[in-house]
Structure 1
Amino acid sequence: MKPTIRAVLLCAAGIPPVTALIVVDAAYWPVSVFFMLFVLLVGGVDALLCPSARALMVTARPPGQLNVGRDGVLSLTVAFRRTGMAVAVDCLLDVNDVLTRPPLRRVIVPVNTETEFDLALRADRRGMADVEAIWLRWRGPLGLFQRSHAVQGGRIPVIPDVNLVREMEIRFNARDAMHGVKVQRQKGEGREFNALKEWRPGMDTRSIDWKQSARHRALISKEYDVERNHPVVFAFDTGHLMGEAVHGLTKLDHAINASLVLGWTCLQGGDRVGAYGFNARMGAYATPTGGRSGFVRLQGFGAELDYSVDETNFTLGLGGLLGRLDRRSLVIVFSDFVDTVTADLMIDGLRRLAGRHLVLFVTFRNVELEGVAESMPRGAKGLAGSVIAADLVQERRIVTRSLEQMGILCLETVPGEVNAALVNQYMDIKRQGLI
């Protein structure tokens, strides 16, 4: 128990008038004694009426896990025994750097009644979130003295966000429930022949079967099914550039979330998914696997990817992946670069990888840098910053064009649009039979 700011102000407020009385006439010195006794009496009554920590009953229920970038709640149940008044309780969490510290929460606990409330939790990084302590503080009825008590919160694993995948699965299952479960054929430019159909303007002229067209005296085209069972490997650059926070999450976490969405789509389409991580060294590798186990494995792999402050060694990292793939695969590389100088080794590694596999390079646009380059500069300093930003944006475009000239597919988008853009790019690849 300790005094509050109100108690200190009460004592300080009485000192000037008491001092003034004694200065005017020393006979008024008993007033100071009475004032001290009054303060002690009021403070003692408030201290006695303030509920003790032994009367407090608190139960904490932390969530089983948190999704990175998503809000969660920690539920608390608070009650005071043997109290004849409602108590205002302030609650504050002591957390590690994985969690964002929530603001102070004040609740009113009625007389002899359990009060349940939630404290918001948000993790902007993957890892193990520690709620080291839950601090509760309450005051006496006069607000002169306060007590505090701490309870243990627990540890909460923070995993990649799978909510978008769950929403996709719900929509998929709901559609099947309404219309029946049946084999879904995806039409495209694969190698598995499906049927003949009349050619229409706008269709690819390469699909025309001239022999069948002569027999039917009309243009007839061949229709193919998209091939399945292709390996799709997600390669994650976990270097320091991917640790930069964009829209509340690191680029690496945005990449992992996007891979889960696309991974689920690939598995639904009959392909197999794998994963690989690298930075200054070669990281873990998960061989492409199909079915539900493939998604569980991909989710676990993403949860275990660690952040790194090292500069990425693309020669070693991409070379190690090239040595582990024994079949032509779709390799989706999530990475980032600054300029043409730092991208030289990355371009060389991607070029060697694209010699045997289909490579899709995914990076995130630097919207702030583009904004500086396009804004009207103010003053000499603003002009210099605008010129530098424009040069960096131009160099990023040069790198992208160089990769595209090597036959590497490039996708540069903002984090909020990467999921849809990546799925659309995958569908185009499947439809054109590029793997």
Structure 2
Amino acid sequence: MIYPSGRAVWAAAAGAVPAFLAALALPSFWYLGLLWSCLLLAFLAVDAAAGCGRASLNASIDAPQQVGVGGEFSVHVAARNSGPRAAEARVGHDARLAPVSGSGGALQPTAGGGSLFLRFQALRRGVASFDRLWVRWRGPFGLVWNQVVLPVESKVAVLPDVSSARGEAITLLQHAALAEGHAQRRAGQGREFDALKDYQPGMGRRMIDWKRSARHGKLLAREFRIEENNNIVLAIDSGRLMCEPVDGVPKVDRAVTAALLSAFIALKGGDMVSLFGFDARPRVSSGAVRGPASFAMIQKRAAEIDYSSEETNFTLALTTLAARLDRRSLVIIFTDFVDPISAELMLRTVGRLTERHLVLFMMMKDTELEGLADMPPRSGEDVARAVVAGGLLRERQVVIGRLRLLGAHVIEADHSRLGPALVERYLQFKQEDLL
């Protein structure tokens, strides 16, 4: 694209007044007033032809692969061309990022091109992208701009800030008496065989290994330990209800933070963790990973769980998840519902899921409804709001009761305590050998 610069506009305006005065003074030579316009058009043509084209331009964007929510980072724009080096650039970005001091500027001359550093701030979780790059430069006379729009593809994973969550996770591990992040082995508990030992009075008869006892001529008992390779699935609902804010932060963001906290604990404890995100259909699915080094991958996949305005399809999501699980797993579902009618399909699917797996539902308390139900009745409208809110809360408890009857575990915690409550229940499951 080629268009006139500000200098060309001012030059045209400056020549219009003398041309008009010349036409008034010498009416028979009015065409002499067009000489300035013709001369200016000639310079514009030369300026446009002398500028380098798109074929001679090569530009790129260098951005970090991931950044925390609220953090600032630098983006490096590099352009190379065979024409004039004085150029300007501007980058196109999505709503997850905000420029700190503008999204463009003049390129600093370098060998063979120009360079520009821009500062951006990550506003919300997700995968942010830089999709376009505008580069423009003036011709030799500075009368026209030569501009090209280059498609680029640079993505930045905006992750939840888990620095404080990691410290809290370490504290919870210490309180649970976990040495170096691994569950302590407790004799007589668990299902994983550890060793043989002499049978002692008071041991259960089921612990006796009769074949080895017959071979050695004395009673030998099997000693077990708690398994450390349990399969943990973090299923996060990102549908319409989960995108509603709680204390200024969407529920799905709080669910992702709690899921990352529990993933950090589980990976430190030797268990395998996988992530599953869904709304109207499954969106994100990671394979099971193991070891603390895999936490970065879980973080990156969690950034792909986007906000959605669609209704959640529990039947499709949970059926797809169950088909992918080839062993007994702890399935942790972060979701929300309004009434028994909207949760009816979910209840049918959960009944089949609990037949093989240990299912735990994580939900946040609806502080807004609780506040309306407890509001002092100063007017008739307050009474009506309190009655409606109380009815919705009772229906919510009905759904929770039906989930528990189906064999699922349910935690309804305050949004600020969602992560710690999940970790405490997870450690309790391991201690009780329910995994």
What TM-score do you get using the length of structure 2 for normalisation?
0.59
Deviations 1:145-185 (A, max 9, x none): 322133442354x657387489959x98xxxxxxxxx7566
Distance 1:190 1:433 in 2: 12
Residues 47, 142 of structure 2: 8 Å contact kept: no
2:263 paired with 1:263 = yes
Distance 2:187 2:395 in 1: 33
Amino acid at match of 2:270: G
The aligned runs of 1:106-125 (5 Å cut-off) are 106-107=105-106, 109=108, 114-118=114-118, 120=120
Deviations 1:297-335 (A, max 9, x none): 856875787887764343454456567667654220022
Distance 2:51 2:417 in 1: 53
Q: Which residue of 1 aligns with 2:153?
A: 154
CA RMSD after TM alignment: 6.0
User: C-alpha displacement at 1:361, in angstroms?
Assistant: 1.5
Residues 338, 392 of structure 1: 8 Å contact kept: no
Q: How many residues are matched?
A: 385
Distance 2:45 2:376 in 1: 63
Amino acid at match of 2:76: S
Distance 1:184 1:61 in 2: 40
User: C-alpha displacement at 1:266, in angstroms?
Assistant: 0.4
The aligned runs of 1:73-222 (5 Å cut-off) are 73-78=74-79, 87=86, 89-94=87-92, 104-107=103-106, 109=108, 114-118=114-118, 120=120, 131-139=130-138, 145-154=144-153, 156=155, 161=159, 164=162, 168=166, 192=189
Distance 2:413 2:266 in 1: 21
Q: 1:228 to 1:130 in 2, by over 3 A?
A: closer
Residues 272, 290 of structure 1: 8 Å contact kept: yes
Q: 1:78 to 1:280 in 2, by over 3 A?
A: closer
Residues 105, 116 of structure 2: 8 Å contact kept: no
Q: 1:160 to 1:91 in 2, by over 3 A?
A: closer
2:409 paired with 1:408 = yes
Distance 2:247 2:47 in 1: 48
User: C-alpha displacement at 1:413, in angstroms?
Assistant: 4.8
User: C-alpha displacement at 1:58, in angstroms?
Assistant: 5.3
Residues 62, 74 of structure 1: 8 Å contact kept: yes
User: C-alpha displacement at 1:337, in angstroms?
Assistant: 2.1
**SS of match in other structure, 2:159:** coil
Residues 191, 227 of structure 1: 8 Å contact kept: no
Q: Which residue of 2 aligns with 1:204?
A: none
Deviations 1:35-56 (A, max 9, x none): 7555666786688679833698
Distance 1:368 1:139 in 2: 57
Amino acid at match of 1:91: A
Q: 1:82 to 1:306 in 2, by over 3 A?
A: closer
Distance 1:118 1:244 in 2: 32
2:44 paired with 1:52 = no
What TM-score do you get using the length of structure 1 for normalisation?
0.59
2:345 paired with 1:345 = yes
Q: 1:372 to 1:420 in 2, by over 3 A?
A: same
User: C-alpha displacement at 1:62, in angstroms?
Assistant: 3.2
Residues 190, 431 of structure 1: 8 Å contact kept: no
**SS of match in other structure, 1:341:** coil
**SS of match in other structure, 2:397:** helix
Residues 232, 329 of structure 1: 8 Å contact kept: yes
Distance 1:82 1:29 in 2: 45
User: C-alpha displacement at 1:427, in angstroms?
Assistant: 3.8
Q: Which residue of 1 aligns with 2:361?
A: 361
Distance 1:424 1:249 in 2: 23
Q: Note the residue ranges of structure 1 that are not aligned, 5 or more in a row.
A: 173-181, 194-208, 210-224
Residues 335, 361 of structure 1: 8 Å contact kept: yes
Distance 1:373 1:425 in 2: 29
Q: Which residue of 2 aligns with 1:212?
A: none
Residues 370, 393 of structure 1: 8 Å contact kept: no
Distance 1:255 1:154 in 2: 29
**SS of match in other structure, 1:345:** helix
Distance 1:324 1:111 in 2: 53
Amino acid at match of 2:343: A
Q: Which residue of 2 aligns with 1:3?
A: 4
2:28 paired with 1:27 = no
User: C-alpha displacement at 1:269, in angstroms?
Assistant: 0.8
Amino acid at match of 1:92: R
Residues 319, 349 of structure 1: 8 Å contact kept: yes
Distance 1:92 1:385 in 2: 54
Distance 1:246 1:388 in 2: 22
Residues 133, 152 of structure 1: 8 Å contact kept: yes
Distance 1:61 1:427 in 2: 45
Distance 1:15 1:389 in 2: 73
The aligned runs of 1:287-326 (5 Å cut-off) are 290-291=290-291, 311-315=311-315, 317-318=317-318, 321=321
Amino acid at match of 2:89: C
Distance 1:16 1:371 in 2: 72
Amino acid at match of 2:25: A
The aligned runs of 1:356-395 (5 Å cut-off) are 357-363=357-363, 390=389, 394=393
Residues 134, 147 of structure 2: 8 Å contact kept: yes
Q: 1:362 to 1:48 in 2, by over 3 A?
A: farther
Q: 1:268 to 1:49 in 2, by over 3 A?
A: same
Distance 1:247 1:122 in 2: 20
Amino acid at match of 1:105: G
**SS of match in other structure, 1:137:** strand
